């Protein structure tokens, strides 16, 4: 280690100020470090990991503290102190701080990034970006009703009311009232909803209001300072609705009226007075923040951002390396490429820049003017933003999607059922999702891309709790007629393949995959649309094409939103994986099987793993449609089956009667005679997905069928003749495409600890998650495994910090090494892009 570790002094102050420089910590232990130098440029870095690796001569501990304090003296926490919570062997002469009390700010007025001060400052900056001023608060929901059941229904007089911003999210109205009482603030009423950072307070007189503003403005709660904002009322457009005046079910009158006639005021804070962008927010800025930049500049911006994120992998992996174990070669070589863990080979541009999204989710709510609107929210609910703006200015949304949003918005103006109120969590209409399917072929611009759209599926999300069935049925019939008439009347004609209703009762619009679905029939003739009996309706599907393969897409299945750019993404992943006839490809988090199926003709076999039952059904159907016979899809959580599947196909052949995969929920095999089922019986996976229309969930009946499925597992683990054992492959490659949260720790451990897996291609839509997962995959295993302590400190850790913590308990295994990375821009005009990284060992 001593021969390869750097021992020279840093060449610039810039290196000194970089707490994650490669010169840290892992120097040779047989060469004592020099005593505290007077020259700051001779100081080692602040995040040296092992405390005993900076040992000085024995008499150095008696050296007095320099009379002239170097600029970087005590500006970083001692790494030994951070790790052991005790003073290191250097004693009081240590140039590093042994606690927050000793810590000093750096010359650039920043703090050690590992300190509590720096973490709090970062949180304040992040929260400040989202809620930097009161004019970011745009509540368009009524707050003068008795939301929390405390009996306080006092109305908000804008002249005698204020909005308090930066309140703790876990506070409710009662807690806010207690806080005001403790501060000696007199008030008439106080309203606060848990999960939001703002509350509303009304007063009985101007004197009370002025006194309260002086007392509350700028007061500190935790690490936040309260801001006082004005409350500006907005009149909602009144509508006479006979259905509201004479509800068929009197028990449900309150639910309807709370979000209908009785909703007279919306409140926005300071600066949104004219509702025309005075607040500085718009759907275009929120949804496509890079739309003002030329596309070439957008790509450069994203590349630079990714470089900074990738450097965190190097820094955190260095910190995670166990004591006494040499640093991996890729960390040592990172100095040569600017601190990157591997070379970033650039960013691939999207073939289509405008109107590229094949899936758009439009929220239903109120605009700043109080109009029922279908579009995009202008911020986060927890920050007090519920305003919705139409999507017409967003360049990533197609004309067809915007048109359907407009049709739905017009329908809601005359609906007898209320829209969803996010403040009270009541209402009926919640969200519209538009999914588009394209014909095969390339398109170089948005106009040609839209001309290729052949199929459209509309998913309308509702919450039917507390509403009369007859009223719901009536509105659904009118909804189907409205979409059918709107599509026919549009020029050119809008394709419309399926209309689906999703019933979701949760607080947020993120519905689970098994939320009940029901299909409404669409007739081309105006006025002839009607609901079909759900028992006779086949689950609605649309189709799209990637690499000349036809893919079937169900309402909730995952499919890349930029089809043409996805072709580039999958082609890149296949090239880097170096596939061959003797390759077994694991497609982890496979969705509808797009990656595995597009690469199936290059490999011996594909094993796809996906927890969404409907998506697995689509994957099997996609394999059958395209005549692909070397794929097997498993419907289960990857963390439950990954290890067993690796052992099944990589280890030496075992007797078939013992070949039972533990933790598997559903198995679907595809071959020439049985492309979808594991045996001659109907596939319960397909059946359950087809029964979603009648309200049954995809997992219904799973427990009763599990034993039968396990007993039939042998047939899915054999070749076509049913007698030969499972084929074992010499080259095993995994391609993982996890959700934004990244891979489950159990999946990471299975991939890392199985020696037969030598190559891993990681496709990430969230580079932060990739960094966290790569820390565990690429950090050397400790000689002694540390058991994770049962404490709650992890709650305050970053994703990288958690990964470093879990790396300490990684079983002894050969780590992967980052080889190369490349970005693919699937999301023009936004800050997001896909990142592909090749890991080998």
Dmax over Cα atoms in the chain, in whole Å?
95
The answer to whether the Cα torsion of 186, 187, 191, 197 is positive or negative is: negative
Mapped to the 3 state alphabet, what secondary structure does 782-811 carry?
Answer: CCCCCCCCCCCHHHHCCHHHHHHHHHCCCC
Measured distance CA(668)–CA(650) in Å, rounded: 20
**DSSP string computed for 572-591:** HHHHHHT--TTEEEEEET-T
- Rounded CA Rg of the chain: 30
435 is written with which tokens?
């999914």
What whole-number distance in Å separates Cα of residue 827 and Cα of residue 834?
8
DSSP 215-232: HHTT-EETTEE-EEEEEE
**Is the Cα torsion angle 652, 656, 662, 663 positive or negative in sign?**
positive
610 is in an annotated binding site: yes
Pairing of strands 161-165, 343-348: unpaired
| Structure-token pair, residue 436 | 């588009």
Q: Which residue is listed with tokens 């007199």?
A: 186
3-state helix, strand, coil in the chain (%, to 5): 35, 20, 50
| β-sheet bridge partners, residue 348 | 824
Measuring CA to CA, how many Å separate 588 from each of 199, 734, 743?
44, 7, 9
CA distances to 171, 336, 778 from 329, rounded to whole Å, are: 50, 12, 11
The residue annotated as part of the active site, out of 589, 765, 778, 833, is 765
| C-alpha torsion 156→158→161→166, nearest 10 | 100
Helix (H, G, I), strand (E, B) or coil at 309: helix
Q: Going edge to edge, which strands form the sheet with 198-202?
A: 138-139, 265-269, 227-235, 161-165, 198-202, 189-192
Terminal Cα-to-Cα distance of the chain (whole angstroms): 20
Question: 3-class DSSP state for residue 158?
Answer: helix
Evaluate the omega torsion of the peptide bond into residue 339 and state whether it is cis, within 30 degrees of 0.
no
737 is in an annotated binding site: yes
| 253/256 Cα distance (integer angstroms) | 5
For the record, the structure tokens of 39 come out as: 């020259």
Query: Which of the 8 DSSP states describes residue 497?
Result: -
Whether 182 has a binding-site annotation, put simply, is no
CB atoms under 10 Å from CB of 206, counted, come to 10
Centroid of chain to Cα 469: 35
- What would the 3-class secondary structure string for 599-616 be? HHHHCCEEEEEECCHHHH
| Region at 629 (left for phi over 0; alpha for psi -120 to 50; beta for the rest) | alpha
The alpha carbon dihedral of 387, 251, 503, 537 has a sign of negative
Residue 765 a catalytic site member:
yes
| Residues marked as catalytic | 765
Binding-site entries for S-adenosyl-L-methionine: 560, 610, 737
């Amino acid at each position: 280690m001593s021969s390869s570790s750097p021992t020279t002094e840093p060449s610039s102050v810039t290196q000194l100020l970089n707490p994650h420089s490669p010169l840290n910590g892992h120097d040779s232990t047989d060469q004592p470090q020099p005593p505290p130098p007077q020259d700051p440029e001779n100081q080692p870095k602040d995040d040296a990991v092992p405390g005993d690796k900076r040992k000085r001569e024995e008499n150095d501990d008696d050296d007095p503290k320099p009379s002239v304090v170097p600029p970087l003296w005590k500006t970083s926490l001692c790494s030994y102190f951070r790790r052991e919570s005790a003073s290191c062997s250097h004693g009081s002469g240590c140039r590093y701080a042994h606690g927050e009390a000793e810590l000093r700010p750096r010359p650039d007025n920043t703090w050690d990034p590992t300190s509590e001060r720096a973490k709090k400052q970062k949180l304040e900056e992040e929260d400040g970006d989202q809620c930097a001023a009161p004019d970011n608060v745009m509540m368009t929901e009524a707050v003068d009703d008795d939301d929390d059941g405390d009996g306080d229904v006092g109305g908000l007089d804008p002249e005698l009311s204020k909005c308090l911003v930066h309140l703790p999210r876990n506070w409710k109205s009662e807690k806010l009232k207690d806080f005001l009482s403790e501060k000696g603030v007199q008030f008439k009423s106080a309203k606060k909803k848990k999960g939001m950072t703002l509350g509303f307070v009304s007063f009985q007189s101007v004197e009370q209001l002025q006194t309260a503003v002086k007392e509350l403005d700028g007061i500190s709660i935790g690490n936040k300072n309260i801001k006082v904002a004005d409350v500006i009322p907005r009149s909602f457009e009144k509508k006479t609705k006979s259905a509201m005046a004479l509800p068929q079910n009197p028990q449900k009158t309150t639910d309807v009226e709370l979000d209908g006639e009785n909703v007279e005021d919306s409140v926005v804070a300071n600066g949104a007075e004219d509702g025309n962008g005075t607040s500085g927010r718009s759907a275009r800025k929120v949804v496509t923040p890079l739309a003002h930049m030329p596309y070439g500049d957008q790509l450069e911006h994203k590349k630079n951002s990714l470089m900074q994120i990738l450097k965190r992998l190097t820094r955190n992996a260095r910190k995670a390396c166990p004591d006494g174990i040499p640093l991996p070669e890729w960390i040592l070589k990172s100095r040569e490429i600017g601190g990157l863990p591997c070379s970033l080979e650039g960013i691939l541009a999207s073939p289509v820049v405008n109107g590229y999204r094949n899936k758009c989710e439009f929220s239903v709510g109120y605009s700043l003017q109080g109009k029922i609107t279908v579009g995009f929210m202008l911020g986060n609910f927890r920050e007090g933003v519920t305003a919705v703006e139409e999507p017409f200015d967003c360049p990533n949304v197609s004309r067809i999607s915007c048109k359907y949003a407009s049709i739905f918005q017009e329908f809601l103006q005359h609906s007898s059922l209320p829209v969803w109120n996010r403040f009270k969590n009541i209402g009926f209409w919640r969200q519209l999702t538009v999914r588009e399917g394209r014909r095969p072929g390339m398109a170089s611009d948005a106009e040609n891309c839209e001309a290729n759209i052949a199929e459209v599926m509309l998913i309308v999300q509702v919450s039917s709790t507390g509403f009369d069935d007859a009223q719901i049925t009536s509105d659904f019939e009118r909804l189907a007629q409205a979409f059918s008439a709107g599509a026919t009347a549009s020029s050119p004609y809008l394709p419309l393949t399926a209309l689906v209703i999703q019933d979701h009762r949760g607080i947020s619009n993120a519905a689970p995959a098994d939320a009940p679905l029901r299909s409404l029939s669409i007739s081309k003739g105006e006025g002839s649309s009607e609901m079909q009996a759900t028992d006779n309706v086949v689950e609605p599907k649309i189709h799209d094409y990637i690499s000349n393969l036809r893919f079937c897409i169900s309402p909730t299945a995952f499919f890349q939103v930029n089809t043409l750019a996805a072709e580039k993404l999958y082609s890149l992943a296949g090239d880097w994986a170096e596939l061959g006839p003797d390759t077994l490809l694991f497609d982890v988090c496979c969705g509808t099987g797009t990656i595995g199926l597009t690469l199936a003709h290059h490999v011996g076999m594909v094993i796809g793993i996906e927890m969404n039952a409907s998506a697995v059904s689509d994957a099997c159907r996609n394999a059958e449609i395209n005549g692909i016979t070397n794929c097997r899809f498993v419907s289960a959580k990857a963390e439950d089956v990954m290890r067993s599947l690796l052992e099944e196909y990589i280890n030496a052949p075992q007797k078939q009667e013992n070949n039972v995969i533990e933790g598997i929920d559903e198995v679907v095999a595809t071959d020439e005679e049985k492309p979808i089922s594991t045996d001659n019986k109907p596939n319960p996976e397909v059946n359950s997905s087809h029964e979603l229309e009648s309200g049954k969930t995809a997992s219904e009946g799973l427990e009763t069928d599990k034993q039968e499925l396990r007993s039939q597992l042998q047939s899915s683990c054999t070749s076509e003749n049913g007698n030969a054992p499972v084929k074992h492959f010499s080259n095993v490659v995994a391609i993982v495409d996890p959700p934004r949260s990244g891979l489950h720790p159990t999946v990471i451990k299975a991939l890392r600890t199985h020696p037969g897996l030598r190559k891993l291609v990681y496709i990430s839509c969230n580079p932060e998650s990739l960094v966290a997962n790569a820390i565990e995959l690429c950090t050397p295993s400790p000689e002694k495994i540390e058991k994770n302590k049962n404490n709650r400190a992890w709650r305050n850790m970053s994703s990288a910090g958690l990964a470093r913590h879990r790396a300490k308990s990684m079983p002894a295994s050969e780590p992967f090494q980052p080889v190369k990375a490349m970005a693919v821009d699937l999301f023009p005009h936004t800050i997001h892009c896909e990142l592909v990284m090749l890991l080998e060992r």
